[in-house]
Amino acid sequence: MQFQISGIHINIGDALQTYVKDELKNTIDKYAQRPTDTQVIFSKNGHEYVCDAIIHLSSGLKAQAKASQSEIYAAFDACTEKMGKQLRRYKRKLKDHHKDRNQSVVFIDRASYTQSKKEGLEDSTIASGPIIVAETDTEFPIYSVKEAAEEVERSKLPFLLFKSKEKQGVNILYRREDGNIGWIESR
């Protein structure tokens, strides 16, 4: 891992560089694996020291923290604490929180949400048919084909199911890709 420790208009001594390397190494080893490089910049803003740290991990994560204190070591410690918090949250996201689950997943019985057996039908017919999740009873509106076409145009619906006044069968009017209306008549 590469460390780049520098100061803007501040001389960084060997003691501070050693302290920074040791503390960052401990924080990174605790929460992250395979860091690639670390950059720490110290500066002075008025009477406070500002520490800005950036860590790049091989996973692509870039953790960044900034802190300011009246002493340079305190500024670095506050920055390291923020950095540790970010890395801890990142590590927690990656962890599998359900590996120690005591209860197994409960599956709902298929019969509790499907249609019950109909009289006269065999078991194999019910078992092999599709699962019905919801049913509704609706009355189809009764239109002539002309009235249904007007309804499709007025409502901008993609299709309309209706009963024909003439034959009482179910019909479908639909909007075709070319903009015209298509009609399917039941026989």
d(CA 67, CA 37): 20
Residue 46's domain comprises 2-94
Q: What is the DSSP letter of 177?
A: T
Token digits of residue 118: 């109909």
pLDDT of residue 125: 47
pLDDT of residue 120: 55
pLDDT of residue 42: 94
Q: Write the CA distances from 161 to 147, 152, 176, integer angstroms.
A: 12, 10, 15
Structurally, how many domains does the chain consist of? 2
User: Is 36 a member of any domain?
Assistant: yes
H or E segment and range at residue 57: strand 48-57
Among 94, 112, 134, the domain-final residue is: 94
User: Is 85 a member of any domain?
Assistant: yes
User: Is 13 a member of any domain?
Assistant: yes
pLDDT of residue 183: 85
Rounded to the nearest 5°, which phi and psi values hold at 6? Answer: -145, 170
pLDDT of residue 44: 92
pLDDT of residue 127: 54
pLDDT in tens, the chain (187 residues): 788 899 998 888 899 999 999 998 888 888 776 777 899 999 998 899 999 999 888 777 888 999 999 999 999 999 999 998 988 888 777 776 656 656 554 555 555 544 555 555 555 445 556 676 777 777 778 888 888 888 888 887 788 888 887 776 788 888 888 878 888 887 7
Q: At how many degrees (to 10) do helices 14-31 and 72-94 cross? A: 20
Burial of 65 (0-12, 13-18, 19+ CB in 10 A): buried
Residue pair 148/171 in contact (Cβ under 8 Å)? The answer is: yes
User: Is 99 a member of any domain?
Assistant: no
Residue pair 162/143 in contact (Cβ under 8 Å)? The answer is: yes
Residues 6+ apart with CB under 8 A from 16: 5, 42, 72, 73, 76
User: Is 105 a member of any domain?
Assistant: no
User: Is 177 a member of any domain?
Assistant: yes
Q: Write down the residue that tokens 């960044």 correspond to.
A: 64
What pTM did the predictor assign? 0.50
Per-state percent for the chain, helix, strand, coil, to nearest 5 = 35, 30, 40
